[in-house]
Amino acid sequence: MSTPAKNIVLRAILADDASVKMATALGTPGKTESKRIALTSEQLTTEQIVGRIKELSKLRDEIVQVMRQFNLTREAGPSVGDQLDYDSELESAKRELDEARNQYQEVQGRIDKIQRQIDDSKKRIAALTEISQTGFATDQLESEAEDFRRVLGRLPAKKLEAAQKAVQSQFKDQAILAVGNKKQDSFYVLVAAPKDKSSQALQTLLLYDFTPIQIPEYKSQDVKSGIQTEEEKAKALAKELDELKLQLDDLRKTAGLTLNQRLDKVVDALMMFRGILKLGEGTQASRIYARLERVLPAEIVNNLSRRGIIELESSS
């Protein structure tokens, strides 16, 4: 019993009537086309035909790769026109691919850049928000003395007293440990020490499970103003990001239509040249396009393949 497969398209180039009838009978009524064509290469040599097959195969793979990169849905259809104008179509296809790649990469690059800026703003907002919760004033966090360093962090409440004693015992009046607000089971603390002692003071506190907190730079006079500035910046960036995503969606829609039609032409041309090699120059044949309702049994696929050229591909 066959497995339903509504998104399978059969393309075929067949010369004998029996094969043509078999292939057309497989398609969904109303979604099957059959057209008589002459398999002609305009007197190309076998070597030239093989060269075109290689070139078209490479182009087909490039188009498929770009469609995957853009996350485009394959919508197969019969190609428009009797036969591919090889030279002009090949050049046009390569140009379309380059333009599509460049446009996509430009917009996607801007999206990625803005997303990174938004992420950075969110991190700064989170950092500034934590700073505002420490209980320390802005002027306490900033050190005007070049030879002095201040380190902000959290200490477990149960180890605070021991840490204070250790700092006092080891550094006497050379280092100061100020206690700020409590957050859950820890206290914010601020350590001030000369630069040549700051590393040693930090190592001492780490013995008591001290968690350092980086003090972010901000241009505003106070932390709350800094948070507001970053929130406004993030909001503006988010608006710009939404606009770029809409632009990318429009680009994908346009590229989807163009590349699907281009791929149809390339696949049909590829099959034409393969048909000439297999069935002979000048052979009268039928080009068939059919949407299938079920997966073809292997014996039917093999039977049609022996008599001509077939391609099966997924499509929406």
- Please provide the average confidence, as pLDDT, over all residues in the chain: 88
Among the listed residues 316, 215, 306, the one whose alpha carbon sits nearest the alpha carbon of residue 260: 316
Tens digits of residue pLDDT in 139-166: 777 766 567 788 899 999 999 999 999 9
CA distance 193 to 149: 6
Q: 136-218 sits in which CATH class?
A: alpha beta
Q: Give me the residue spans of the domains in the chain.
A: 4-109+241-314, 136-218
Residue 14, strand partner residues: 286, 308
CA distance 255 to 60: 15
CA distance 11 to 291: 9
Tens digits of residue pLDDT in 205-262: 999 999 998 887 766 567 888 889 899 999 999 999 999 999 999 999 999 999 999 9
When pLDDT is averaged across residues 51-57 and rounded to a whole number, the result is 94
CA distances to 67, 157, 255 from 100, in Å: 10, 59, 7
- 176-183 β-sheet, strand order: 176-183, 186-194, 148-156, 211-213
Q: By the 8 A CB rule, do 6 and 265 touch?
A: no
Amino acid (1-letter code) at residue 310: I
- pTM passes above 0.85: no
Angle, helix 86-132 to helix 46-69, in steps of 10 degrees: 20
